[in-house]
Amino acid sequence: MNDYGTVIAPGTVRIERSLPGPIERLWDYLTDSRKRGTWLAAGDMDLRVGGKVELVFRNSELTTDDDPPPAKYAQYAGESRMGGRITACEAPNLLAHTWGEDGGGDSEVRFELTPQGDRVRLVVTHSRLPDRDTLLSVAGGWHTHLGILQARLDGREPPGFWRTHTRLESEYAQRIPPG
């Protein structure tokens, strides 16, 4: 399994991970605000199609021993909020919701969970991304956040969020050709 996400269609990035199970544990890390807040963003989710999603990001607090955010992400140094709506919910295998709906964005993120023995295959697909810069940011972001999730599930301290995101965004810029 390639650690890097791949562009599978215009404006769509997909990233896969094999994570320690069971599947119910991973489902909790996607849907429980407290657990999700340890690797991505806290916030309430009304787990039904059409239900509201609130994501409360505190990226600078996800890890210790980190760099400050780069200038282009300075506004995200503290807390930032984003909303969306559930577009699919089939516990514990599928969760999808719009991303940034309250800010005019209409991209969608989809989480697919498949048991594989004592592990779980997680596929994250983020679609309807408007341009290459957003795609690079999202690819680096998901790669970083999923690395934090992996570390948390393994009982390890993850490397710094902003330091990792900055490196990965640059790597994705080399991997994903313009236009």
Burial 84-99 (b: 16+ CB within 10 A, else e): bbbbebeebeebbbbb
> Average pLDDT, stretch 110-130?
97
> Average pLDDT, stretch 127-139?
95
Q: Which of 41, 56, 49, 42 is nearest to 85 (CA)?
A: 49
The pLDDT assigned to 100 comes to 83
pLDDT band at 168 (very low <50, low <70, confident <90, very high): very high
Higher pLDDT, 65 or 127: 127
Higher pLDDT, 136 or 1: 136
Share of the chain above pLDDT 90, in %: 91
| 90 Cβ contact list (under 8 Å, min separation 6) | none
Name the strand (E) or helix (H) holding 132: helix 132-154
pLDDT band at 105 (very low <50, low <70, confident <90, very high): low
- Please say whether the structural domain 6-175 has been given the CATH code 3.30.530.20: yes
> Average pLDDT, stretch 109-137?
97
The pLDDT assigned to 65 comes to 87
User: How far is residue 143's CA from residue 3's CA, in Å, rounded to a whole number?
Assistant: 8
**What CA dihedral angle connects 24, 25, 30 and 36, to 10 degrees?**
150
The pLDDT assigned to 140 comes to 97
Q: Which two tokens stand for residue 152?
A: 């948390």
Residue 1 has pLDDT above 60, yes or no: no
The pLDDT assigned to 102 comes to 63
Residue 143 has pLDDT above 80, yes or no: yes
User: How far is residue 146's CA from residue 3's CA, in Å, rounded to a whole number?
Assistant: 10
The pLDDT assigned to 101 comes to 66
The pLDDT assigned to 178 comes to 87
Residue range 40-57, pLDDT digits in tens: 999 999 999 999 999 999
The pLDDT assigned to 106 comes to 84
> Average pLDDT, stretch 130-155?
96
Strand residue runs (E) in the chain: 6-9, 12-20, 52-57, 80-90, 94-99, 107-116, 119-127
The pLDDT assigned to 179 comes to 72
Look at the block and give the residue holding tokens 């969970």.
Answer: 113
